[in-house]
Structure 1
């Protein structure tokens, strides 16, 4: 299946280190060679890059590894196709507008016999179960809350219901963000860590690269990394529980009330 990567921070931060290791899984250290993509929130806008080529062969992926785009919320994906052909329109993450904000979504898994009725403005462009699920989530949120974005607690509760509903059709590990926070739902495999003061050196598992974060951060910085499988070999990663939905705000998982 596919793999997911996300970053949520309290200050704009680049994802070069994590993406360097993650991209290696797109055709070199793993078999996720059916396309990839990444989206960076910047203010109200989104920088969105996708490519149907394997990440290890993609000139665009090479650009991302060398160009330190800073963002407080980033979602990335490397694809191993289960539904839909290898094509640009089927590459995650997907982007839609709701409540005057861009929403970015990526999914790891396989949904069987998932065929919701879409009767509003949200329709898939490609042929993946993932984009169909995203359109369904956007439709249901709009139907439930109307034209105004609800408080985060209400939004979290609605997403908890929707992710459980969709997960009944198969594996539904997903990442979703509007740039204000990051929602992450686990069906099978997701892990996370929080880097904060005092910072240390981290070693990538998929590439011979290390960074001493104490040299490139301030004591006030805080970064949460969420990924399908741990990216580093010397840090303590925390596993999600199956069925768990977490919300990350300013580089920390928010306590569930």
Structure 2
């Protein structure tokens, strides 16, 4: 299956440290070598980079590791193809517009025989179960709310919609609109918050240790959500199966 990485931050933050370790799982330290992608929200704008090559060997991924883009919401994905061929249109994250906002979605898991009814406003471009699920979520959110609702209202609606997808299989996902980040666990997902007083962290998949106390200010804070912990010396918390969390400004709300 695939792996997910999300950052939700109080101040614009770069993902170089986490993304460097995460990329190694795309073909070097793990077998998720069937494409990758990363999305950075910048205000109402969005920078999206996707590739059907492996993250560990991609020149684009190498560029992004050395060219830190700062964002308050970042979603990344490395893919192990199960449903849908290895191609650019099947690389996560996927994006759609709703209520004049960009939405970004990445999924880990398989949804067997999942072909929901979709109207013309939200249609998949590729052939993955993941993109079909994203289109259906966007469609149902649009049906439920006439305009952009509060984070609390969106969370309530998502809690009602998710069981209609999970009955088809595994539905670990990250979803963000640049204001908040929703993370749902079917089987495996972990999180932590890096905040003052900061400490050192050492990547599991790459020889790199950072002392965050030397590079952050007291007001900085970042929630990191990942399929499998990225570091060996930080306290990661596992999601409960079926749990949905929403993060705003690096805090669970």
Residue of structure 1 equivalent to 2:20: 20
Native 8 Å contact 1:120 1:139 kept in 2: no
User: Which sections of structure 1, spanning at least 5 residues, go unmatched?
Assistant: none
- How many residue pairs end up in the alignment? 253
Task: Give SS of 1:199's match.
Answer: coil
Instruction: Tell me the TM-score normalized by structure 2.
Output: 0.99
Give CA-to-partner distance per residue, 1:211-234, whole Å, 9 cap, x none: 000010001111000000000000
C-alpha separation in 1, matches of 2:211 and 2:52: 33
Runs ≥4 residues deviating over 6 A: none
RMSD: 0.6
- The structural deviation recorded for 1:162 is 1.4
Task: Give SS of 2:56's match.
Answer: helix
Matched ranges for 1:172-211 at <5 A: 172-211=171-210
Residue of structure 2 equivalent to 1:213: 212
Task: Give SS of 2:5's match.
Answer: strand
- The structural deviation recorded for 1:154 is 1.3
Q: Are 1:129 and 2:135 counterparts?
A: no
Instruction: Tell me the TM-score normalized by structure 1.
Output: 0.98
Matched ranges for 1:61-72 at <5 A: 61-72=61-72
Residue of structure 2 equivalent to 1:102: 102
User: Which sections of structure 2, spanning at least 5 residues, go unmatched?
Assistant: none
Matched ranges for 1:1-257 at <5 A: 1-146=1-146, 148-254=147-253
- The structural deviation recorded for 1:120 is 3.4
C-alpha separation in 2, matches of 1:186 and 1:208: 29
